A and B are shown apart, each in its own frame.
Chain A
Amino acid sequence: MRAYLGVDVGSVSTKLVVIDDAMNILSSIYTSTAGQPIRTVQDGLKAVEGEIGNKAEISGVGVTGSGREIASIIVGADVVKNEITSHAVAASYLVPDTRTILEIGGQDSKIIIMRNGIVVDFAMNTVCAAGTGSFLDHQAQRLGIPIEEFGGLALKADNPVRIAGRCSVFAESDMIHKQQLGHSTENIIAGLCEALVRNYLNNVGKGKEIKSKIVFQGGVAANIGIKAAFEQALDQEIIVPEHYKIMGAIGVALLARDHFKKHEKTRFKGFAASGFAYQPKSFECKSCSNLCEIIQIYQDGSLAARWGGRCGKWDTL
């Protein structure tokens, strides 16, 4: 049986997905990147191998996410795609007639507008990561609440407080202030969810025509408090697809499938890649005044990839 691997190396979590030709999910892994993309991807590969074993043959690999360059070297990728395209592909496949995609991940948030199955407009947070997953994580930790229960608490609020959502620093001091005044944790969390949604719609979603079907995906979609706040603010139904966490990986696996149908070959290095020793090394090129930081990735001692140069000098291995 043919299968296709999609890898999404995000800022906070790494997702691996294996699908077959009929779009059945054979394996899916969701782990924390923990600042170690190389090891995380290798561990993920090992776990995937354990799950699918010899049942399927990987015929195409796609990578996405902010760590896509490095991941493409480790697994040997056929398709290297940005997150926006990957998320759009997955959503339009799994939820037909999607017209708006709200996606909030660990470090970024985006809105994708689709009409008739193609992306016609999108926006991404510009300079600030307020309201993304890592901020919510941090707040949950500060309040001593497991992140899984965070959203549920928001639904129990009877009187959400007003929190400044523009900047995570302001939001946090606002929250602390409200908590010192004696507001209940539930009300503060609900206020935070509303603030983040308000900020998202003003900042990322500004000027965009948000029409249903609206799909909400990315790690933060697990937070039912945020979902409820979106439904309230937009007054429309929000769909959280079953695989909301791994949509990027699914999208890029679908693209890898298309790639295989066209080219009938793959660059996949095999599951053995989880055992290779990868070592990144960097240096400053002093050939000109640009002083580029060149990064070289060694696979078992020999040079496998190199990037970071502004001129063509280091492009060829």
Chain B
Amino acid sequence: MKVAFPHMGRVCIPLKTLFDSLGVSVIIPPRNNDTIKNTGYKYSPEYSCLPFKMILGNILYSLENGADTVIMLGGSGPCRFGYFAYMLNLIARDLGYRFKFICLEPSSLLKNIVEFKRLLRCGYSDIYTALVLGWEKLKTVDSLEALYFKTLPYISDKDSSKQEFEEVVAKLEQSSNILSINEIYRDYSDHLAVQRDIYKQFPRIGIVGDIYTLNEPYSNHNIEYLLGMKGIETTRSVYTSTWVETNAFFWKRKRFNKKMKDLSMGYLNDNIGGFAMETVYHTLDFINRDFDGILHMVPITCMPEIVSRQVLQRISVEKKIPIMSITVDEHNDCTGFETRVEAFAEMLYMRHKKV
């Protein structure tokens, strides 16, 4: 059995650990690049979104290189009427690939685990150990990124900090027990704490949108790094780990959904699929937490985000907070993107200074 899964930011690190400890070999495509994007575009319906096309490119690459099982994290939720993952599966089958397709949905996680046990012929305890280790790595890699982009604007030697960060992540990739994972995080946060000037407060931006665009630097043009270099603190609304936490853990899911619905009430009363409600909820939440601005990433043709963009405009007027929606698609050239982001950052600085 050779397992493959599409890239989404650094999610391949915990997933590789998970399968490694179960003794399953994995095929990881290279980090998202133009070749993968072009493959995805070639075989996708024209009207599908950038995440769909990128994921298809990833899957086709893995199948071409010998994968026989493809695992998707989510993808049969209400986004694209629940057909997101199935379309990927069908397109690859139409191209002649034969493989097993597993769509991990938080709601059917227990069923998936039983299925895995049967496929791998291993015990529940093995799966449990692998899941715990994988979960710990996922949480840590997300916390490391969050911490880095929160601190980046304050670091004096920004260029070498990127290198440093990559080294820490590489170390995390190698570690194989929870103690060393926790140690890596502790060391790095101590290291960053020294560089953070606590008397300074730069403008803060909350980045909202769908999970793929937020977590995959290739599709968001590395927005957090770009803003960090311009002296802006950033926080994502949805990290992979927070999504797993609030969806797979049923005891947390209920509470989170209630919280989300309560706050969004009056702006978006029903879940319309994708991450529309999360976008609205987190925007309001960021505003309550005194963020200086909101950046909304919209993959072109993404219905849920198009709806939430309209809602966000109303929030922007009512709460008097600058909210900018940026549409992302296949274009490679970043000048237009950078112009908007730079202008947004500068405007926040001007507003920030005035207060």
> B340 contacts A124, CB within 8 Å?
yes
> B346 contacts A82, CB within 8 Å?
yes
Known: A66-B336, A85-B346, A124-B340. A291 touches B316 (CB 8 A): no
> B339 contacts A312, CB within 8 Å?
no
Q: Give the residues in chain A near B329, CB-CB below 8 Å.
A: 127
B66 to chain A, nearest CB (A): 18
Secondary structure at the B interface, as helix, strand, loop or mixed, is helix
Q: Give the residues in chain A near B354, CB-CB below 8 Å.
A: 118
B30: contacting residue among A69, A85, A289, CB under 8 A: A289
> A312 contacts B159, CB within 8 Å?
yes
> B159 contacts A315, CB within 8 Å?
yes
Q: Give the residues in chain A near B248, CB-CB below 8 Å.
A: none
> B327 contacts A127, CB within 8 Å?
yes
A119 to B347, CA, bound (A): 6
> B339 contacts A83, CB within 8 Å?
yes
> A207 contacts B317, CB within 8 Å?
yes
> A207 contacts B316, CB within 8 Å?
yes
B343: contacting residue among A122, A289, A310, A315, CB under 8 A: A122
**Does A153 lie at the interface of the complex (its beta carbon under 8 Å from any beta carbon of B)?**
no
Interface size counted on chain B using CB atoms at 8 A: 34
Please tell me which stretch of B31-39, B89-97, B113-121, B283-291 contacts chain A, meaning at least 4 of its Cβ atoms lie within 8 angstroms of it.
B31-39
| Contact residues of A between 44 and 65, Cβ < 8 Å to B | none
**Does A120 lie at the interface of the complex (its beta carbon under 8 Å from any beta carbon of B)?**
yes
**Does B342 lie at the interface of the complex (its beta carbon under 8 Å from any beta carbon of A)?**
yes
A120 to chain B, nearest CB (A): 6
> A207 contacts B313, CB within 8 Å?
yes
Smallest CB gap from B326: residue in A = A126
**Does B222 lie at the interface of the complex (its beta carbon under 8 Å from any beta carbon of A)?**
yes
A311 to chain B, nearest CB (A): 8
| Contact residues of B between 126 and 173, Cβ < 8 Å to A | 159, 162-163
B-contact 0/1 string along A110-127, CB 8 Å cutoff? 000000001111111011
A291: contacting residue among B34, B314, B324, CB under 8 A: B34
Smallest CB gap from B312: residue in A = A207
> B343 contacts A82, CB within 8 Å?
yes
Q: How large is the interface on A (under 10, 10 to 19, 20 to 34, 35 or more residues)?
A: 20 to 34
> A312 contacts B162, CB within 8 Å?
yes
Q: Give the residues in chain A near B215, CB-CB below 8 Å.
A: none
A84: contacting residue among B222, B300, B332, B339, CB under 8 A: B339
A207 to B311, CA, bound (A): 11
Q: Give the residues in chain B near A181, CB-CB below 8 Å.
A: none
**Does A290 lie at the interface of the complex (its beta carbon under 8 Å from any beta carbon of B)?**
yes
> B33 contacts A84, CB within 8 Å?
no
Q: Give the residues in chain B near A315, CB-CB below 8 Å.
A: 159
> B313 contacts A206, CB within 8 Å?
yes
A144 to B35, CA, bound (A): 43
Smallest CB gap from B329: residue in A = A127
Q: Give the residues in chain A near B325, CB-CB below 8 Å.
A: 126
B148 to chain A, nearest CB (A): 15
A120 to B346, CA, bound (A): 10
Smallest CB gap from A118: residue in B = B350
Q: Give the residues in chain B near A82, CB-CB below 8 Å.
A: 338-339, 342-343, 346
Q: Give the residues in chain A near B316, CB-CB below 8 Å.
A: 121, 207
A291 to B313, CA, bound (A): 37
A304 to chain B, nearest CB (A): 19
A82 to B335, CA, bound (A): 10
B123 to chain A, nearest CB (A): 37
> B31 contacts A123, CB within 8 Å?
no
> A289 contacts B31, CB within 8 Å?
yes
> B335 contacts A290, CB within 8 Å?
no
A-contact 0/1 string along B29-64, CB 8 Å cutoff? 011011100000000000000000000000000000
Known: A289-B31, A310-B222, A312-B162. A121 touches B350 (CB 8 A): no
**Does A317 lie at the interface of the complex (its beta carbon under 8 Å from any beta carbon of B)?**
no
- Most chain A CB neighbours (cut-off 10 Å) among B327, B336, B347: B347
A16 to B54, CA, bound (A): 42
**Does B322 lie at the interface of the complex (its beta carbon under 8 Å from any beta carbon of A)?**
yes
Q: Give the residues in chain B near A289, CB-CB below 8 Å.
A: 30-31, 33
B227 to chain A, nearest CB (A): 14
A315 to B158, CA, bound (A): 13
> B314 contacts A122, CB within 8 Å?
no
- Most chain B CB neighbours (cut-off 10 Å) among A121, A206, A290, A293: A121
> A312 contacts B322, CB within 8 Å?
no
B189 to chain A, nearest CB (A): 23
Smallest CB gap from B344: residue in A = A122
Smallest CB gap from B315: residue in A = A207
> A66 contacts B159, CB within 8 Å?
no
A118 to B347, CA, bound (A): 8
Q: Give the residues in chain B near A206, CB-CB below 8 Å.
A: 313
A83 to B159, CA, bound (A): 26
**Does A108 lie at the interface of the complex (its beta carbon under 8 Å from any beta carbon of B)?**
yes
Cβ contacts A to B, 16 pairs, < 8 Å: A66-B339, A84-B339, A85-B343, A108-B336, A118-B351, A119-B350, A120-B347, A122-B347, A207-B313, A207-B314, A289-B30, A289-B33, A290-B31, A310-B222, A311-B162, A315-B159
| Extra inter-chain contacts (13) besides given A290-B33, A312-B163, CB under 8 Å | A66-B335, A66-B336, A83-B343, A84-B339, A84-B340, A85-B343, A119-B343, A123-B324, A207-B313, A207-B317, A289-B33, A311-B162, A315-B159
B residues with a Cβ closer than 8 A to A are 30-31, 33-35, 159, 162-163, 222, 300, 313-314, 316-317, 322, 324-327, 329, 332, 335-336, 338-340, 342-344, 346-347, 350-351, 354
A residues with a Cβ closer than 8 A to B are 66, 69, 82-85, 108, 118-124, 126-127, 206-207, 209, 288-291, 293, 310-312, 315
